[in-house]
Structure 1
Amino acid sequence: MSTLAINGGKPVRDTYLAYGRQSIDDNDIQAVVDVLKGDFLTTGPKVAEFENNIAAYVGAKHAVAVSNGTAALHMACFAAGIKNGDEVIVAPLTFAASANCVLYCGGTPVFADIDERTYNLDPNKIEDKITDGTRAIIPVDFTGQSVDMDKIRAIADKHKLTIIEDGAHALGSEYKEKKVGNIAELTEFSFHPVKPITTGEGGIVITNDDRLYERMLLFRTHGITRDEKLMTHSEGPWYYEQLDLGYNYRITDIQCALGSSQMQKLDKFIARRRQIVKAYNEAFKGIDEVITPFEPDYSNSGWHIYVIRLKLDKLKVSRKEVFEALRAENIGVNVHYLPVYLHPYYKKLGYQEGLCPNAESVYQSIITLPLFPGMEKQDVDDVVAAVKKVIEYYKI
């Protein structure tokens, strides 16, 4: 048995392999340079071009791009009319922004538990959380796998709730052969560097609803408009009015030029991600101590991240020791995510452990392995070798 690097042995890799990273080529760089040499750096023609590219890709009517994914979720909650006293049902196994956006609008996040197989919001756990104050549901497409949208749609329609789909992981993913992004009333995507495509930082909200679209346009620009149809009156071509309390969430032409260039490669990126996931699944299926991702028939994931679950009852150690051992082998593992309500800030708001038992149990045993389009075959082989090495050492 090989000595683990954490115990003084030779690491599987000589260099560190991150869990995710951007894939930038010369065309991306040139697209940004062209903007830098042009007339517009902030809000200009590249913003609309990027929005149109995303909307067309997912088959939706409108897209509103903003400065980051969190701003996009905030904007979606505003457009949906979330206000003081409103409750919004949220998945717990996600980044804090999925719930913070509700707090930004004065609402209350209500956490419903996850399905232990998919790690997504369990539709069967939603209805018990609905009260007279419930206004929306924020399901999260965790790892890129679509939530069971038909079941969530039926619940939302029954109770007259808005669905705000957090698709931060899911650009390019599909639900029943239909692109994520044109099913919910509002769908958010993120363009952080580890996401399916990047604009550096950036986010977008997709909708087919004209009213929601107009509200989002106002929201990202201070609540200000120059549209004479919306203003109380006009004093001339210079004139504008603030109609609501919006924010400066604008995205730049620089970012959107990069985003449009990245969109040309999205399908290639996703194909590579799926290849890597297939290789991982094949390599790990004989390891009894590891649970590989489950994908339901209705989902065709773009695989933003690859999460394994450890069978801790078959190991001598906790997740922490396995994590540290893999890091010592120069494999940049991560964990996604601490259930939101277990963060100290949420505990101060009154949320307590035990709220979502499935999410808490899953969190204790999951590890995210490296996955990004730029990974070479040797990188994938190194990850597999490191996992096998560490599990073999720690198994009972």
Structure 2
Amino acid sequence: MSSLPIPYGRQSIGVADIQAVVDVLKSDWLTQGPTGERFERTVADYCGAAHAVAVNSATSALHIACLAAGLGPGDILWTSPNTFVASANCGLYCGASVDFVDIDPRTYNMSVERLEEKLACASRQGLLPKVVIPVHFAGQSCDMKAIARLAERYGFTVIEDASHAIGGRYKNEPVGNCRHSAMTVFSFHPVKIITTGEGGMVLTNSSELHENLVRLRSHGITRDPALMTGESHGPWYYEQIELGFNYRMTDIQAALGVSQMARLSEFVERRDHLAKRYDAALIDLPLTCPWQHPDTYSAFHLYVIRLDLGRIGKSHREVFEGLRSQGILVNLHYIPVHIQPYYRALGFTGGDFPEAERYYRDAITLPLYAGLSEADQTRVIETLRSVVGK
């Protein structure tokens, strides 16, 4: 059995992926060419969405999705505290204020019950959010049908942060079809399900939102005469009609994405298989394995356990460092956003979202990726068993 360190996640790059990138490098288009559009169409078709806009990161995707939704100064965005900071920062980029909704104790996603309670209170105070971003933590979809019903009642826009969840399903339909949201965001960072190196994408069924997203991705520039304010001066003419950004994805990245999409189902099936092996092997240990809602099929970006520290007789840190000292490079997803120093300075404090804080005190992310061998997974399991003393 190998003694090399086992990371919590890593990319799977094959010969076809390398050739796809080489082919683009030999072509006439390195960026803003046909491969980018092909990648968008491939993902949109897989998910069953009408439109897709590829960008240079999921953070950029969240930013322009919020802008396309009209989020701005004086508005409010709500998201989950159990996420990477980008899910909240995107609201601040737009000049809006940010708040959080505590998580469900079993799925670790945004709690629909807490969301409904908070909306009722915010409605009485006249402080309803303009945008709510549910985060499909670890690859498992939030209860989007329930969230969509609340969006209709209270008038907010839903943007799904599905950075963990491409290839996952909700009510037997692909995550990303935007059936219950205005937009869905994916990430293609190397530790995600598929990768473009860095990269992200926004999916939508709205032609108007799609047009806005395309402009915002590229400086707010248009060549559409119907949107221009002045007379065209010739075929070279364009106008900047709003403040946009350079968030474009290169064709080099998109080529890798198209190639990776051919193996998406294989990647997710492998992750599911490995997750089930963990479930079976860890059943007798003093910990909780991830619970899956029957309405969902997780893409299993992450496999997170909760430690029963009282039964283990060790601290969270001792278990974490014990695993790392033996080459099992576990991680922790996530430190609740509201207790980060920047957000504490905005007025948040410990105790604001107790379920997310309880989760943080005993969660550990185990290695899980498509290329993880069963032998290496067995090493993870045996090491975990020795560290927790069972």
Same-fold call, TM cutoff 0.5: yes
1:121 — aligned with what? 110
* Equivalent residue number for residue 265 of structure 1: 263
Q: How many Å apart are 1:58 and its aligned residue?
A: 0.3
Determine which of 277, 298, 304 is the counterpart of 1:301.
Answer: 298
Q: Residue 365 of structure 2: which of 346, 364, 368 is its match?
A: 368
Q: Which amino acid aligns with 1:169?
A: H
Residue from 193, 197, 201 that aligns with 2:194: 197
CA distance in 2, matches of 1:314, 1:81: 50
**Seq. identity, %:** 50
1:24 to 2:13 alignment: yes
Question: Is 1:150 matched up with 2:139?
Answer: no
SS at match of 1:164: strand
Instruction: Please state if 1:227 is matched with 2:216.
Output: no
Partner residue of 2:165? Answer: 170
Q: Does 1:316 align with 2:313?
A: yes
| Preserved CA contact (<8 Å) 1:168 1:188 | yes
Partner of 1:358: helix, strand, or coil? helix
Q: Is the 8 A contact 2:312 2:389 kept in 1?
A: no
The whole-number CA distance in structure 2 between the counterparts of 1:140 and 1:377 is 29
Q: Give 2:52's aligned residue.
A: 63
Q: Distance in 1 between matches of 2:223 and 2:45?
A: 26
| Alpha-carbon contact 1:16-1:330 (below 8 Å) kept | yes
Q: Could you tell me how far 1:251 is from its partner in structure 2? A: 0.5
Deviation at 1:317, TM superposition (A): 1.7
1:91-140 Cα offsets, whole Å, 9 max, x none, are 00000000000100011111110001100000111133333341111000
1:210 positional shift: 1.0
C-alpha displacement at 1:13, in angstroms? 5.3
**Contact 2:131–2:159 at 8 Å: present in 1 too?**
yes
Aligned residue in 1 for 2:244: 246
Per the alignment, residue 8 of structure 1 pairs with none
Name the TM-score, length of structure 2 as normaliser: 0.96
Kindly report structure 1 stretches of 4+ aligned residues shifted beyond 6 Å. none
Q: Offset of 1:31 from its aligned partner?
A: 0.4
Amino acid across the alignment from 2:262? Q
Q: Aligned partners of 1:82, 1:34: CA distance in 2, in Å?
A: 40
Unaligned segments of structure 2, at least 5 residues = none
For residues 349-378 of structure 1, the C-alpha deviation after alignment (integer angstroms, 9 at most, x for no partner) is 111111100000001100000000011111
Query: 1:4 maps to which residue?
Result: none
Q: What amino acid does structure 1 have at the position aligned with 2:268? A: I
For the 8 Å contact 2:51–2:204, the answer to whether it is kept is: yes
Q: 1:209 aligns with which of 206, 209, 223?
A: 206
Distance (whole Å) between structure 2 residues aligned to residue 127 and residue 187 of structure 1: 21
Paired residue secondary structure (2:380): helix
RMSD: 1.0
The structure 1 residue matched to 2:351, chosen from 351, 354, 366, is: 354
Residue 312 of structure 1: how far off its partner (Å): 1.4
Indicate the residue corresponding to 1:286 in structure 2.
Answer: 284
Quote the Cα distance in structure 2 between the aligned partners of 1:109 and 1:311.
33
Deviations 1:199-240 (A, max 9, x none): 000000000011111110110000011122221231111000
Question: What secondary structure does 2:227 align onto?
Answer: coil
Q: What secondary structure sits across from 1:235 in the alignment? A: coil
Aligned mates of 2:99, 2:340 — CA distance in 1: 15
Distance in 1 (alpha carbons) for counterparts of 2:117 and 2:234: 54
1: CA distance between counterparts of 2:310 and 2:202?
42
Q: Give the corresponding residue for 2:382.
A: 385
Q: 1:14 maps to which residue?
A: 3
Which residue among 6, 17, 32 is the counterpart of 1:43? Answer: 32
Q: Do the aligned partners of 2:305 and 2:363 also contact (CA within 8 Å) in 1?
A: yes
Aligned length: 381
Give, in whole Å, the separation in 2 of the partners of 1:360 and 1:223.
40
Which position in structure 2 is the counterpart of 1:7? Answer: none
Looking at structure 1, the residues matched to 278 and 240 of structure 2 have their Cα atoms a distance apart, in angstroms, of 53
Give the corresponding residue for 1:337: 334
Provide, for residues 267-287 of structure 1, a one-character-per-residue CA deviation record: whole Å limited to 9, x for no partner.
000010001000000001111
Q: Which of residues 158, 175, 183 is equivalent to 1:180?
A: 175
